[in-house]
Amino acid sequence: ASHPLLCPPGIKCGGVLSASSGNFSSPNFPGLYPYETECTWLIVVAEGSSVLLSFSHFELEYHDTCAYDYLQVYNGAARDRGNLLGTFCGHSPPPPFSSAWHVMAVVFRSDRHVAKHGFAAAYKKDACGGQLTGLSGEITSPRYPESYPNDAECRWSIGGASGGGPLTLVFADFQMEGGQGCGFDYVALFDGPTVSAPRLGRYCGSARPPRTVSSTPHLLIIFKSDFNIGGRGFKAHFYSAGECQEVFTTIKGNFSSPQYPNFYPNNLKCHWSIQLPPGYRVKVFFLDMELEGRSSLTGGCDYDHLSAFDGGTENGSLLGQWCGRESLAPITSHSNRLLLVLHTDRNTAKRGFSISYVGVVPMNVSCTRTDFHIQIPVQSLAQLERNRIYLGTPSCAAQVVGRNFKIHTRFDTCGTESQRRNNTSVIVSTLYIDFSVGDQEDIHQYEVQCEPKRKEASVTLIAGPDPSRLSQAENLVDAQQWEGEAIDARETKSQDTSDIVFISICILAGLLMVIAVVGLVLL
């Protein structure tokens, strides 16, 4: 009995647990668990309820990444990596877990070597409080939205997510017994894992508490009710800063979904806000994207999706919403602010996305039959000296004229060259804008092009958001009007050869018909 065996076919292992509370343990507990065993317990309570899971004993074979024997806890159905709350082994028991909804799964696995005594666990539904470790989640008072019970005390300890930053807590609904000093029923918030941490606030009554941001990756929430007079209670959601809530103000940058390229967590709402100086627009390049696919019923992105909003808020115009696995064309904002929002539901996580963006410098480019004219508002490049902006070579640096950086140069200077593109003669040069700081080189390059016969100019980004990431140069500048000058900036379009091909086929067919008729006459 002291030696573990391979798990006999009849041994009880795993199953569905649907009672309001219960206990379960590893096979043979408190004896040694068998080798090569895999058990899954699915805890399912009434819809609208939550599950509190705790461990009274825990002893598994230790490995620093739990690669041998392990126990996994899922905030929902098993095997969905977006629901994984943690993987555990060794002698340190997992913390108490509170589910975000009415399903929780536990998976135990042992390999063919080294057995220990295993674990014993208990669960109960609608127990309030517990350990919450996701990047985001929701908590409610007991029985919400029904009146909460008297003499209740709940503690939610939020934190411990890998890579987690400060936590933000937002109350969506709040209605409790009031009273001066909140001495009867209240919610108290602490900036850390215990009550010894600084208190962030104590709230009661019907006024929603303000948005609260912790200074650490931990937040403790205590709910307490006295012996009479209750209320509807509260509903709040939390999210971690860091990789799920970021603001970018640099001219270019890169970011990705949480845990990319590994599967992103479920139950997320993440915001990435790009805020650039006035006059700029934001160009976003989708380097990689794989989200949960479209709904088979509606054909829409009803599950996990990424949305882009112009103007920096979700009230702005929707530039696009995406899901599934797609190769997406770049998008450009109409203003200097753009907001990207990732929403994931309770199941089916995927790899996520990787994004690069660059600020499109506002500029006017025009030309005559002999000269280039380039203007950039000084306020758009306020931190740059004029010699950081040059055409072709540093000797052709911009001049400051009024409120603009200006470059006025003849075609036979500043590195310009003549080329033939689509059977048209064009003059081409490269505009450099040097954003480098210290040892970090950051030079954006724009190709400026002029068709002298038509006096038409265009400008194209050829280096900006890490050139190796761009599959091709993107034309970035629309026609604009500054200082009363109407300048037509059109991009060069490749010649459409379809008409030529069609005419050639018709001529060939006519020749074949003539040959056939002559042949018949000769016969």
CB 420 within 8 A of CB 442: no
The rounded distance, in Å, linking the Cα atoms of 445 and 479 is 19
Tens of pLDDT, residue by residue over 57-82, are 999 999 988 999 999 998 887 777 77
Any domain includes 486: no
At residue 478 the predicted structure's pLDDT band, cuts being 50, 70 and 90, is: very low
pLDDT, tens digit (0-9, with 9 covering 90-100), for 224-275:
999 888 899 998 888 775 667 788 998 889 999 988 888 887 777 888 999 9
Phi, psi of 509 (to 5 degrees): -65, -40
Residue 27 belongs to a domain with what CATH number?
Answer: 2.60.120.290
Do 139 and 112 share a structural domain? no
350 lies in some domain: yes
pTM: 0.59
- Among 205, 223, 240, the domain-final residue is 240
Asked if residue 201 and residue 173 are part of one domain, the reply reads: yes
- Considering the domain architecture, whether residues 136 and 232 belong to the same structural domain is answered as yes
Is 484 part of a structural domain of the chain?
no
Report the CATH number at residue 422. Answer: 2.60.40.3210
Q: Is residue 120 part of a domain?
A: yes
pLDDT given at position 495: 33
pLDDT tens readout for residues 30-56: 999 999 999 999 999 877 577 889 999
Nearest of 84, 73, 76, 82 to residue 24 by alpha carbon: 73
Question: What average pLDDT does the chain have?
Answer: 83
Give the pLDDT mean for 72-93: 84
Q: What is the pLDDT of residues 182-218, one digit of tens each?
A: 999 999 999 999 999 999 999 999 999 998 889 888 9
State the average pLDDT over residues 302-325. 93
User: Is residue 340 within 8 Å of residue 354, measured between CB atoms?
Assistant: no
Q: Are both 228 and 164 inside the same structural domain?
A: yes
291 and 355 part of one domain: yes
Percent of the chain with pLDDT over 70: 83
Q: How many domains does the chain have?
A: 4
- Which range marks the domain in which residue 423 is found? 364-471
In-domain check, residue 519 = no
- Of 441, 471, 501, at which residue does a domain stop? 471
Query: Is the pLDDT confidence value at 466 over 80?
Result: no
Q: Is the per-residue pLDDT at 410 higher than 90?
A: yes
pLDDT of 476 reads 33
- Would 111 be classed as within a structural domain? yes
Q: Which residue, 211, 240, 269, sits at the end of a domain?
A: 240
pLDDT of residue 441: 86
- Report residue 115's pLDDT band, with 50, 70 and 90 as the boundaries: very high
The secondary structure of residue 73, as a DSSP letter, is E
Is residue 514 in a domain?
no
Residues 67 and 158 in one domain: no
Q: Using only C-alpha atoms, what is the Rg of the chain?
A: 32
Q: Are residues 144 and 201 in the same domain?
A: yes
